[in-house]
Amino acid sequence: MLEYTNRAGKTYYLRKSVTKTGKPRYFFSQKIEGKGEPVELLPEGREIYERVEDGQVFLRKHQTKHFLEEETVLIESLLATKPMPFRYLYQENGKYLTIYETNLASALCNGGNDLMSHSIFKKTEDVAAQLVSTGGFTAVLRFYRDDPESKQCTVERFCFLGRIDDWICINGSDSFKKLAEKYIRLLGTDEFYNPLYG
């Protein structure tokens, strides 16, 4: 049976049932024995997708890649330089490469009130990292590329103002490397939310 373990360490098993019209319907279950029949191989044209926000696992149609491997490597290296890099995850999803921040970000960074200051988290940073891995994440920054052959892209930031609550473009078309280096360094800082971006 095909299985997949998500970032929180939960294992999901791929199963199949049939719709009323006779078409196959694939789904993941945490139960080894459950509804539907077990699936051994990934169906053609499908891929496993883990939703970053909550770690839920789905089967979806294969997505065309719009970003190069060297660009995802750059994202990893830039995020690795951030304080507590486990605060961030990224995911390529079609025309977007999105960076997510843990919903516990403020608790991790507020001085004496951060998670590391509490007695149950004093052992090592690994404990906080494990807590983050099981929690939710929110999309905060994303790169958009319409043409997978292009080296150019734009960058957007999510605006959490009540009257907006949507993505806003913060930089027009430019090289991925230049945009990634410019904006990832701002993550976790007040400057990230400054519309002028020094």
Residue 113: the pLDDT is 46
- Name the region of 45 (left: φ>0; alpha: ψ -120 to 50; beta: rest): left
pLDDT at position 105, please? 67
Q: For the whole model, what pTM was predicted? A: 0.83
d(CA 74, CA 99): 13
Mean of the per-residue pLDDT values of the chain: 86
Let me know: does 97 contact 91? Beta carbons within 8 Å: yes
> In the chain, which stretches have pLDDT less than 70?
105-129, 131, 195-198
- The pLDDT of residue 83: 82
pLDDT of res. 111: 43
What is d(CA 59, CA 11) in angstroms, rounded to the nearest whole number? 14
| Model confidence pLDDT, tens digit, residues 159-168 | 887 777 899 9
- Which pLDDT score, from 0 to 100, does residue 103 have? 85
pLDDT, position 116: 52
Please give the structure tokens belonging to residue 115. 């998670």
Q: Report the alpha-carbon distance of residue 113 to residue 64 in Å, rounded.
A: 43
Q: What is the tens place of the pLDDT at every residue in 49-61?
A: 999 999 999 999 9
